A = this chain, B = another copy of it.
Amino acid sequence: MPEVIYVTGGARSGKSSYALRLAEPYDQRVFLATAEAFDGEMQRRIDKHREEREGQFVTVEEPVFIDRALRNLPEGSGVVLLDCLTVWLGNLMHHLGTEAAISERIAALLAVLETPPCDIILVSNEVGMGIVPENAMAREFRDLAGTLNRKVAERATQAYLLCSGLPLVLKK
């Protein structure tokens, strides 16, 4: 049975770098990027991450239908690194809008995690340890992200919380 490895952490906590290190031992690595560049700040982050993995991964970009991307990986893929779940969730809210449509996509991802095509490393963000946001959409996002993270971590065979670049083992 393939591994499902969940890596979470705060902003700049080293979660993406840690996930890249976890992917190192594999042959035929796929990087599933969920980010879309809405502005220059975002574009710089995407470019910086792309540089870090140059030549080591086949990159697949899919902002919304990641379940389909995961079911249609290149033949012989050894591992897929999905980065990241919270950006994907933001895309779902932006592109799909309704709760029902969002839930459907999350259910489709969870279904893939039940029978993964190969080892999967999923990067997420911890966004719920600050003060309650005043903005209602931020509160909704925070709640959905927390619930998504719990569901994915529940299905994971390994789970890590990164803090200052160092991993705390949540499950192993």
> Are B127's CB and A132's CB within 8 A?
yes
Residues of B within 8 A of A165 (CB): 149-150, 153-154
> Are B159's CB and A153's CB within 8 A?
no
CA distance A146 to B170 in the complex (A): 21
Residues of B within 8 A of A149 (CB): 12, 164-165
> Are B8's CB and A143's CB within 8 A?
no
Residues of B within 8 A of A9 (CB): 128-129
* Nearest CB of chain B from residue A46's CB, rounded to whole Å: 15
Q: Report if A65 contacts B (CB, 8 A).
A: no
CA distance A141 to B134 in the complex (A): 14
CA distance A124 to B166 in the complex (A): 15
Residues of B within 8 A of A145 (CB): 12
A150 partner, pick from B14, B133, B139, B142, beta carbons under 8 A: B14
Q: Report if A103 contacts B (CB, 8 A).
A: no
* Nearest CB of chain B from residue A82's CB, rounded to whole Å: 15
Tell me the number of copies of this protein.
3
Q: Mark A118-143, 1 if CB is under 8 A from B, else 0.
A: 00000010111111111100110111
CA distance A142 to B138 in the complex (A): 17
> Are B127's CB and A126's CB within 8 A?
no
A127 partner, pick from B124, B129, B159, beta carbons under 8 A: B129
Binding site for B on A (CB under 8 A): 6, 8-14, 41, 124, 126-135, 138-139, 141-143, 145-147, 149-150, 152-154, 159, 161, 163-166, 168, 170-171
In the A-B complex, the 3 residue pairs with the smallest Cβ-Cβ separation, listed nearest first, are A130-B130, A12-B146, A10-B128
